[in-house]
Amino acid sequence: MEDDVIGAARRASKVTVEEAASVSGLSKVTYLQRERHPDQFRICELMGLYDCLTDLGKRILVDGITNFLSNRFGLTEYQREVPMAHNRYVARKILEAVREFYRDPENERRYREWKSSRSEGGASTPASTKRAPSRSTCGPSPS
């Protein structure tokens, strides 16, 4: 992702760093680090941010995710053949799928169990040491 795409989306929506950190489930310091290095954001963190952005901010964020996915997976040739609107649709659907996943508390519980079982084998950090993303928004949904 371009280094300032998240900040640009946040600023276009007049969302403060504190609000963005809160809806992303991050501390202010961690949020600012992620904003400077957007490839470190988790989709569930971006989902919270997406919910509190204006339409313009959402468009900026979706374009950033679209470009990130295209560059990350070498889809630049593909991108020339597929209209940008389709790529934006895919990025929006990814965010919606994550939101739908987190609506069911059982999915989150199973995810934490899976994450914990991986950490016991040394594959990752224990889930208990990570903050869960906030499900709140920073105001009424602009959609």
Q: Over the stretch 7-23, which tens digit does the pLDDT of each residue have?
A: 999 999 999 999 999 99
The torsion angles phi and psi of 69, rounded to 5 degrees, stand at -65, -40
Q: Are 51 and 102 in contact (CB under 8 A)?
A: no
Within 8 A by CB and 6+ apart from 107, the residues are 101
CA 25 – CA 105 distance, rounded (Å): 16
Full DSSP string of the chain: --TTHHHHHHHHTT--HHHHHHHHT--HHHHHHHHHSGGG--HHHHHHHHHTS-HHHHHHHHHHHHHHHHHHTT-HHHHHHS-HHHHHHHHHHHHHHHHHHHHSHHHHHHHHHHHHHHHHTTSS--GGGSPPPP---SSS---
CA 54 – CA 124 distance, rounded (Å): 35
C-alpha distances out from residue 109 to 27, 103, 120, 123, Å? 22, 11, 17, 19
pLDDT tens, N- to C-terminus, the chain (143 residues): 556 889 999 999 999 999 999 999 999 999 999 999 888 888 888 888 998 999 999 999 988 888 777 766 665 565 566 666 777 788 888 888 887 887 888 887 888 888 788 877 655 444 434 444 444 433 333 33
